[in-house]
């Protein structure tokens, strides 16, 4: 029987690549986003579920609906970034980022894990970041959320393992997404250098391999972790970081 997968933040970037990859493998894909991607869901033979993850009540409603649809694989992917020194970081923005990238994944795990336990099988994939393992300046909320997501991953893995459920985190470095490409353009204007120089000298300064990661590469890792071949892997954080954390 085909598996059912819920992917949050599926409108573009990593989420969209994952939705396409899982659909290609025959999964029933539930595409979540804050904006309407119903046409995309239809193209992939899936279902569109809209919710604003910054609103806990909407996350709860999303979790209930997803549970009714029998989700076997949960991919917590949605997120966003904000850059500011900690003394200037708006509290409201901090709270929103923690809600979207840490509290909402907890809410969805809480809603969907009972069904996975009942079926004796499940996969939970949390898209963390290389910034869940290391820090950079001016990203205090993002880095706090991603570090917390890795802790949540490990804890739930220990609780869910006896029920045939694996829980893992993927930790990418900079991926070629609309968000990252926009940040590169912004930095190029600010620094007065070319986008190519920004990518190499700023974004990829810590990387051994000097290129952006393609969203499809992250999607392929997600497919593997959701497969039976990865049934012995749980509580793991898998970097796909171009060698960033090898230092």
- Annotated active-site positions, please? 142
Give the angle 89-128-194 at the CA atoms, nearest 5°: 65
CA triple 119-73-231, angle to 5 deg: 75
DSSP conformation class of 212? P
Query: With left for phi above 0 and alpha for psi between -120 and 50, is residue 9 left, alpha or beta?
Result: left
Q: Tokens 């909407």, residue?
A: 58
Backbone angles phi, psi at 229, to 5 degrees: -60, -25
Alpha helices in 55-198 (DSSP H): 56-68, 91-98, 104-119, 140-160, 178-191, 195-198
């Amino acid at each position: 029987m085909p598996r059912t997968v819920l992917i949050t933040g599926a409108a573009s970037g990593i989420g969209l690549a994952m939705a396409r990859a899982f659909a290609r493998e025959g999964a029933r894909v539930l595409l979540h986003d804050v904006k309407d991607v119903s046409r995309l869901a239809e193209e992939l033979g899936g279902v569109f579920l809209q919710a604003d993850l910054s609103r806990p009540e909407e996350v709860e409603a999303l979790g209930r609906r997803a549970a009714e649809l029998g989700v076997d694989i949960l991919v917590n992917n949605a997120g966003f970034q904000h850059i500011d020194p900690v003394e200037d970081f708006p509290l409201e923005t901090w709270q929103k980022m923690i809600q979207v990238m840490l509290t909402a994944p907890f809410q969805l795990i809480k809603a969907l894990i009972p069904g996975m336990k009942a079926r004796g099988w499940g996969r939970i994939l949390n898209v963390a970041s290389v910034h869940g393992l290391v820090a950079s300046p001016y990203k205090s909320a993002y880095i706090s959320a991603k570090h917390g997501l890795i802790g949540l991953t490990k804890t739930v893995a220990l609780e869910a393992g006896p029920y045939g459920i694996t829980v893992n985190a993927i930790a990418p470095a900079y991926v070629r997404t609309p968000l990252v490409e926009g940040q590169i353009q912004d930095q190029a204007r600010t620094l007065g250098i070319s986008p190519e120089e920004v990518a190499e000298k700023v974004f990829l300064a810590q990387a051994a391999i000097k290129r952006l990661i393609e969203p499809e590469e992250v999607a392929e890792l997600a497919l593997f972790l959701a497969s039976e071949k990865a049934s012995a892997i749980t509580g793991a954080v898998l970097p796909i970081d171009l060698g960033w954390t090898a230092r």
